[in-house]
């Protein structure tokens, strides 16, 4: 049984530079710089004209999936250093008015269901959070950090020990990047 080579090509537009080291990749663009620290030892990266080639020789099913995963991470990095990823969240309440504010590396949700202590959500490095009335905007060049910050905010306002059909208060993700 012969296993074919798995390969994917990631286009690199003008204004974005990709630097390959042994098992690491750095992507630099107009909005910032990102790095992918550990690429799997079976996955090889090579630069071509205007693209990065992700390959794996003798690829079985798992290695094909690895090639696709590394290529997807590179595409997200290239897109992120050009235009930051953006999540939009909406503050919803019907019982107690919620106040949301950014304090340092945390987002505080005050008066959630009448609780005395604020709920806290961690803001990961490289992510900017803005609160505008009942809208919360999460922006960052790293898709993973931006998405995890939005998830942290949504999870901090999870309802426990109450009927979720009645208590629908919280901060919910409304739009995700495509």
Q: Is the dihedral of CA 76, 122, 129, 170 positive or negative?
A: positive
Domains and CATH numbers, the chain: 6-82 (3.90.930.12), 85-175 (3.90.930.12)
Residue 55 forms beta bridges with which residues? 7, 44
Enter the pTM of the model: 0.89
* CA–CA separation, 162 and 164 (whole Å): 6
- Percent of the chain that is helix, strand, coil (3-state, to 5): 20, 40, 40
Q: Which residues pair with 90 in a beta bridge?
A: 135, 172
DSSP 50-65: TEEEEEETT--HHHHH
Chain segment 92-149, per-residue pLDDT in tens = 998 789 999 999 999 999 999 899 999 999 999 999 999 999 999 999 999 999 999 9
Locus of tokens 């590179």: 74
């Amino acid at each position: 049984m012969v296993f074919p080579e798995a390969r994917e090509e990631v286009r690199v537009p003008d204004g974005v530079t990709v630097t390959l080291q042994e098992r690491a990749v750095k992507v630099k663009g107009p909005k910032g710089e990102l790095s992918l620290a550990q690429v799997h030892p079976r996955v090889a990266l090579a630069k071509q004209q205007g693209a990065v080639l992700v390959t794996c020789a003798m690829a079985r099913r798992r290695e094909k999936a690895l090639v696709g995963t590394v290529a997807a991470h590179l595409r997200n990095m290239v897109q992120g250093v050009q235009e930051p990823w953006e999540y939009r969240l909406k503050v919803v309440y019907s019982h107690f008015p919620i106040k949301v504010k950014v304090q340092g590396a945390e987002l505080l949700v005050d008066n959630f269901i009448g609780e005395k202590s604020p709920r806290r959500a961690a803001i990961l490095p490289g992510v900017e959070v803005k609160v505008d009335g009942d809208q919360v905007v999460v922006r960052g060049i790293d898709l993973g950090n931006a998405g995890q910050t939005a998830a942290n905010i949504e999870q901090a306002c999870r309802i426990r020990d109450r009927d979720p059909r009645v208590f629908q208060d919280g901060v919910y993700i409304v739009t995700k990047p495509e």
